[in-house]
Amino acid sequence: MSVKHIPYKNTGYYSKLICDYLEQKEELKSFYGHFPNLENFKKQIADKKFSTENRATLVKALHRQYQNLNSSDEVTKAINLLSEPQTFTVTTGHQLNLFTGPLYFLYKIISTINLAKKLKETYPEQDFVPVYWMATEDHDFEEINYFRIHGKKIQWNRPDTTDNDSGAVGQLNTEGLEQIYELICAEFGNTNSARDLCKLFEDAYLKHNTLTEATRYLANELFAAYGLVIVDGDDADLKRIFAPYMQNELVTQTAFDAVQTQAEKLEEAGYGVQVNPREINLFYLAEGIRERIIEKEGRYFVNDTDIAFSKDELLEALAERPEAFSPNVIMRPLYQEVILPNLAYIGGGGEIAYWLELKSFFDKVEVPFPMLMLRNSAVLITEKQEEKLQKLDLSIEELFLSQNDLVNRKIRRISNINVDFTPQKEHLVKQFEAMYSIAQETDASFLGAVKAQEVKQLKGLEHLEKRLLKAQKKKLSDHVKRFTSIQNELFPQENLQERVTNFSEFYLHYGKNLIPQLFEALDPLDYRFTVVTQ
C-alpha cells in the first residue's frame, strides 16, 4: 500500500469556506473556538466541564441501548470509562444509510477512532472514547434507502404498511429487505468475502426489527474491536438532560437570532450559508410523525397536524415526555455537546459549514463549542487501476479535472499536431499592439475598429483551435475512451468515489484487510486529501 496526499484546495471538490478554514484564515477565526491540532486539545480539555450526574445518566443509557447486542470488551470498557472525570469523547455522526451508504461512512468513523488513539498517546492522563452518533431521528427516508455498487443503485422500497415514512427513520421496521438481501447476494458473487458481506447484511437487517437496531448492529460488527461507542439520541433519559435547553428554545427562541446573525456575518465575509435557522428549531416526534413546532399568537402547533398546545401544556409535555421533542439541524449539535463530554466533532465539508454558524448560539447558552475537524477523504486505487494510469501517463492530480478538461489536456499532449494555438494568439496580440500605436494618432472611431478586429481574429483562432481539437479527439477516440473509462472508475458519476460507492465493492476486492488498511492510511490530523494505492 502506498499513500499520497493532495491539498484539498487543489482537488476542486471543496468550498472556499472549508479551504480557508483549514488554512486558518483570519476572517474565519471568530466563527470557531480552538483549531483542531494536537496542542489545542489541551485547551479544549480544560474548557470542557461535564457533571458526574450527567456521566452517570449517559453510561446508564448506553448500557440500556447495548443490552440486546453482544458487544466487545473494548466497547464495554469504553462505556464504563465515561463514568470517570478524566474521560472525554470525540464524535462523528451519520444518517442510517442502508448498508452504510457511501464509502465515507467508514472514513468518518475511522477518523474518529484514530483521533481518540492519537489523543491518548499525547495526553496519557486522560482517556478518549470514539463515538458514532446515529441520526435516528432524521425523517428523510429517500436520502438513506439505497446504496451503490458496481454502478448499480440498490434501493429499498418499503411495502405498504401502517408506518408513515415521514416519521423518524430509526423507528421504521425492516420489512421488505429480504428482497434486497437476495439481490445483493447475487451481485456480490460466491467468494469468501461475498459470503461475509451477505451474512453481515442478513444479521443486521433480517434479524433486527428496526432500522436503528440494524444500523447499531452493523456499525458494531465493523468497529467494536476498536472500542467505538454508538449513541442513539432518541432516548428519554438523555433528552431529560437536554430538556432545559429545549425549554429555552421554545420560550425564548435564542437560536434564531444568534445563528441568523452569525450566518449574516459569514455572508458578509464572502461565504455561503449552509443552513438557516427557524424561529423554533425543534420537531414534535410521535409514531409516524416528525413535524416542526410553530408558535402563533402564544399557541404552539405541530405543522401539518391537528396537534396544538398552550404554552403551559407544551412545557408540561416537555417535562413529562422529553422524548417527544426532537432537535433539528441547528439544535442537534447542542444536544450532542450537552449530553457528551465531547471535545471535537468530525464531519464532512457540509457539516463543518453549518457548525461554523453556531458558535455565537453556543456562547449564549454557555455550552463549550467543540473543535471542528474535517473528516478524512480518500480515493482507493487498485493495483490494476494503477497499471492503467501508468500506461496512459495519467497523474492522480489530472484525475481531479473535469472530464472535458482532462480529455482536452491529454489529447493536446499526445497529438502529433500542435493543438495549442497560444503562440499564434500571442503573435496576433503583438501585431495589434503596433496597430494601436497608429490608431492613437487618429480618431477614436478608428481605435474602436482596431479593437473590434482584434477581438474578431482572436475568436477566429479560438474557433479553429476548438475544431482542430474536436478532430483530434475523433482521430484519437480510443485514447479518449481509455481516459474517460479510468476516470469514471475512480470518480463515478464525475464525483468523488467516497460520495457514490458503497464499501462492499472494496470489501469484495480487499476482504477483511480493507478496514485495517484504511486505519493505517488515514490520519485525522493531516488535512489533505488521501490517495491510497494497493
DSSP 460-485: HHHHHHHHHHHHHHHHTHHHHHHHHH
With beta carbons less than 8 A apart as the criterion, state whether 41 and 119 touch.
yes
End-to-end CA distance of the chain: 4
Percent of the chain with pLDDT over 90: 81
0.95 surpassed by pTM: no
Check residue 301 and give left, alpha or beta (phi > 0: left; psi -120 to 50: alpha): beta
What is the distance between the alpha carbons of residues 212 and 168, in angstroms, rounded to a whole number?
Answer: 10
H/E run at residue 342 = strand 342-347
Q: How far apart (Å, rounded) are the C-alpha atoms in residues 126 and 54?
A: 18
Cell output for 98: 442502508
383: cell is 493495483
* Residue 15 to residue 271: CA distance in whole angstroms: 9
Instruction: For residue 129, list its beta bridge partners.
Output: 89
The residue whose grid cell reads 440500556 is 64
CB 246 within 8 A of CB 322: yes
| Cα torsion angle, 473, 475, 477, 478, sign | negative
| Cell numbers describing residue 77 | 470498557
Task: Report the pLDDT value the prediction gives residue 490, as an integer from 0 to 100.
Answer: 97
For residue 311 the three cell numbers come to: 404554552
Q: Which three cell numbers stand for residue 325?
A: 421533542
Which stretches of the chain drop beneath a pLDDT of 70? 160-165, 414-421, 425, 428, 444, 461, 464-466, 468-477
Give the pairing of strands 378-381 and 529-533.
parallel
Gap between the Cα atoms of 436 and 508, Å rounded: 66
C-beta separation of 421 from 461 below 8 A: yes
What is the C-alpha separation between 374 and 527, in angstroms, rounded?
Answer: 7
282-286 vs 325-327, strand pairing mode: antiparallel
* C-alpha–C-alpha distance, residues 389 and 394, integer Å: 5
Instruction: Identify the three-state secondary structure at position 149.
Output: strand
260 vs 376: CA distance, rounded Å: 29
Cα angle 386, 390, 391 (rounded to 5 degrees) comes to 115
Q: Comparing C-alpha atoms, which of 339, 366, 340, 369 is closest to residue 352?
A: 369
Residues in the chain: 534
Q: What nine digits make up the cell of 231?
A: 449513541
Question: 91 φ, ψ to 5°?
Answer: -130, 145
Q: SS3 string of 52-78?
A: HHHHHHHHHHHHHHCCCCCCCHHHHHH
How far, in Å, CA of 262 to CA of 363, rounded? Answer: 12
Residue showing cell 479593437:
451
DSSP 501: B
Give the residue among 171, 177, 175 at the shortest CA–CA distance from 161: 175
534 CB contacts (<8 Å, ≥6 apart)?
Answer: 1, 380, 381, 382, 383, 386, 510, 517
Cα–Cα distance for residue pair 479/219, rounded to 1 Å:
42
